C-alpha cells in the first residue's frame, strides 16, 4: 500500500491502530527520557532519527479526559515503523508532549501550522479549523451542534474541541441535568466559563456554584469534579 492510505479515516482509536498495522506500522513506541524506544527490538530513536508520518486526534464523546492522540512514526535509519499513543490536554503525558514539541520545533521553527479537525464516524464533515493565525468561533453555533448530535441524545454529555495548539486547548461541553464529571486533576492551569445553565464546581476545599456568564480559574494538580444543575449546562474549558 502507498502512503496516501495514511489519510484515510479509519474511525476510532482502536480501528486506526488496526488500520496502521496493515500499513506496516507494527511496532509500539514508548517514551524513554528524550527519545522513543521500541522494547521488542531494543531500538532507541532520538528526534533526528525518526519522523512523524501522520497524526490522528480523537475527541472523547463524554469527557476531555478521554481524548487522545496517535502518531504514526517511521525511521529510515532503522527501517522501522510503529505508533505512539498519547493523551493530550488534561491527560497528556508530560514527557511525551515535550518530546513531540522538540521534534516539531526541530522540523518547523517559528511556523504556525493551520490545523483542521479530521472527519470521524460521528462527525463525518470534518474540516473544522482548530488552529490558524486567527480562528473565528461561533459559540452559539457550536452549542447547537452539540445538542443536535446523536451523542447528546444517547448519553448524558457531549463535547467539542474548538481550538487546539501546543499551549492551549478550548473545549465546549454540554451536560444534562445531574450529570457528574468524576473527580480528576489537570496538569496545567484551567479556566471554566458557563455559557448556559448552572453547574457546581467542586474541589476538596470549596464548592462553587457557577451560573451563565461566570468563570473560574483553577491551578494545576487540584482534584475537582463538576455537577450540572440544569437540563443543559454548557461550559467553555480552556486548558
Residue-range domain boundaries for the chain: 3-111, 122-238
Given CATH 3.40.50.300, say whether it is the number of domain 122-238. Answer: no
- Cβ contact 85:57 at 8 Å: no
Concatenated DSSP letters for 47-69?
GGG-EEEEEEEE--SS-GGG-EE
Average pLDDT over residues 158-183: 86
The answer to pTM > 0.85 is no
- pLDDT category, 207, cuts 50, 70, 90? very high
* pLDDT of res. 28: 93
Angle at 63 between CA 82 and CA 207, to 5 degrees: 140
* pLDDT of res. 83: 94
Q: 144-164: per-residue pLDDT in tens?
A: 988 898 888 888 888 888 888
Amino acid at each position: 500500500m502507498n502512503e496516501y492510505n495514511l489519510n484515510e479515516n479509519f474511525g476510532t482509536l482502536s480501528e486506526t491502530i488496526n488500520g496502521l498495522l496493515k500499513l506496516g506500522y507494527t511496532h509500539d513506541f514508548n517514551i524513554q527520557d528524550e527519545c522513543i524506544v521500541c522494547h521488542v527490538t531494543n531500538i532507541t530513536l532520538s528526534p533526528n532519527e525518526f519522523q512523524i508520518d501522520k497524526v490522528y486526534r480523537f475527541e472523547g464523546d463524554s469527557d476531555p479526559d478521554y481524548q487522545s492522540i496517535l502518531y504514526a512514526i517511521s525511521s529510515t535509519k532503522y527501517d522501522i515503523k510503529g505508533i505512539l499513543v498519547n493523551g493530550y490536554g488534561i491527560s497528556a503525558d508530560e514527557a511525551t508532549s515535550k518530546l513531540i514539541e522538540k521534534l516539531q520545533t526541530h522540523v518547523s521553527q517559528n511556523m504556525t501550522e493551520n490545523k483542521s479537525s479530521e472527519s470521524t464516524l460521528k462527525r463525518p464533515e470534518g474540516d473544522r479549523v482548530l488552529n490558524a493565525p486567527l480562528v473565528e468561533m461561533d459559540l452559539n453555533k457550536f452549542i447547537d451542534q452539540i445538542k443536535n448530535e446523536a451523542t447528546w441524545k444517547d448519553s448524558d454529555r457531549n463535547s467539542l474541541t474548538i481550538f487546539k495548539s501546543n499551549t492551549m486547548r478550548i473545549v465546549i461541553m454540554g451536560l444534562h441535568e445531574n450529570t457528574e464529571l468524576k473527580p480528576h486533576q489537570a496538569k496545567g492551569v484551567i479556566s471554566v466559563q458557563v455559557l448556559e445553565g448552572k453547574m457546581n464546581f467542586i474541589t476538596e476545599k470549596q464548592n462553587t456554584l457557577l451560573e451563565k456568564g461566570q468563570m473560574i480559574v483553577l491551578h494545576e494538580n487540584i482534584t475537582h469534579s463538576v455537577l450540572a444543575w440544569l437540563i443543559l449546562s454548557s461550559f467553555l474549558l480552556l486548558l
